């Protein structure tokens, strides 16, 4: 039988088929248990926390005498997640760190990135009753803890919170998941998680929540606010 020339249609179609099969095999390996090195390699693990300047944060907080920004840290998890911790002043003698945590989930910029992105670094929903109970006991030991009867609202929608009090101090733990990509988030942002923990002297809960309600997200692209939309 005569040999098929390398530039014949039959040879070309065979080459294309071979390339497609090789590509599919590679994708299968990348997403299968045989390619654990891709899912678990160092590029998918969180980087160490590193100090940054407050100007590099994706959020701006109002000036506050009681809760000034003391330090800021960030780390990456793969190319999808960026996490920030804003350490705030603590006017009490209670243990623990006043802080705002911001987790930004971006959309992968390629098919490969979508295939090998790390697991989500925050749960949805952010808290269950079990995890909330565990967290509040750890954050506010020996304080009276109460889940708010109704949500409050900041610039980006409703959020939930817990209060904790003793004879001299009050604390709040507030959390919010922003996921409205059609109306609020920039095109490249998948979701933003906010977690806010603050303790102060006295019993003025609205004053403790004021920085969380007045903050402004400052991502590279515009983030719309609820009032810009006439409500949700």
**Which ranges of the chain have pLDDT less than 50?**
1-6, 9-13, 16, 21-40
Token couple for 56: 């590099």
Six-digit token string for 13: 């179609």
User: Has residue 4 been placed in a domain?
Assistant: no
- Each residue's pLDDT tens digit, 131-161: 999 999 999 999 999 999 999 999 999 999 9
Instruction: Indicate if 143 and 183 belong to the same structural domain.
Output: yes
The structure's pTM equals 0.78
Residues 148 and 53 in one domain: yes
Q: Domain check: are 56 and 164 in the same one? A: yes
Nearest to 78 by CA among 112, 130, 135, 116: 116
Does 53 lie in the same domain as 25? no
How many structural domains does the chain have? 2
pLDDT at 226: 73
| Tokens standing for residue 135 | 């967290």
């Amino acid at each position: 039988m005569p040999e098929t020339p390398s530039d014949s249609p039959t040879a070309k179609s065979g080459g294309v088929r071979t390339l497609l099969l090789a590509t599919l095999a590679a994708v299968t390996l990348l997403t299968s248990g045989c390619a654990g090195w891709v899912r678990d390699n160092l590029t998918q693990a969180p980087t160490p926390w590193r100090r940054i300047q407050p100007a590099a944060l994706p959020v701006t907080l109002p000036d506050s005498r009681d809760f000034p920004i003391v330090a800021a840290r960030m780390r990456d998890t793969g190319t999808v997640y960026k996490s920030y911790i804003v350490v705030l002043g603590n006017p009490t003698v209670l243990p623990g760190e006043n802080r705002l945590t911001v987790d930004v989930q971006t959309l992968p910029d390629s098919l490969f990135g979508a295939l090998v992105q790390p697991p989500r670094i925050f749960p949805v929903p952010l808290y269950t009753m079990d995890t909330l109970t565990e967290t509040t006991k750890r954050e506010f030991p020996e304080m009276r803890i109460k889940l708010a009867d109704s949500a409050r609202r900041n610039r980006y929608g409703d959020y939930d919170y817990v209060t904790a009090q003793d004879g001299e101090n009050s604390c709040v733990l507030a959390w919010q998941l922003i996921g409205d990509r059609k109306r609020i988030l920039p095109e490249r942002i998948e979701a933003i998680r906010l977690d806010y923990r603050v303790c102060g002297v006295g019993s003025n809960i609205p004053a403790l929540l004021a920085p969380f309600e007045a903050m402004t997200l400052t991502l590279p692209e515009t983030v719309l606010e609820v009032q810009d939309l006439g409500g949700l």
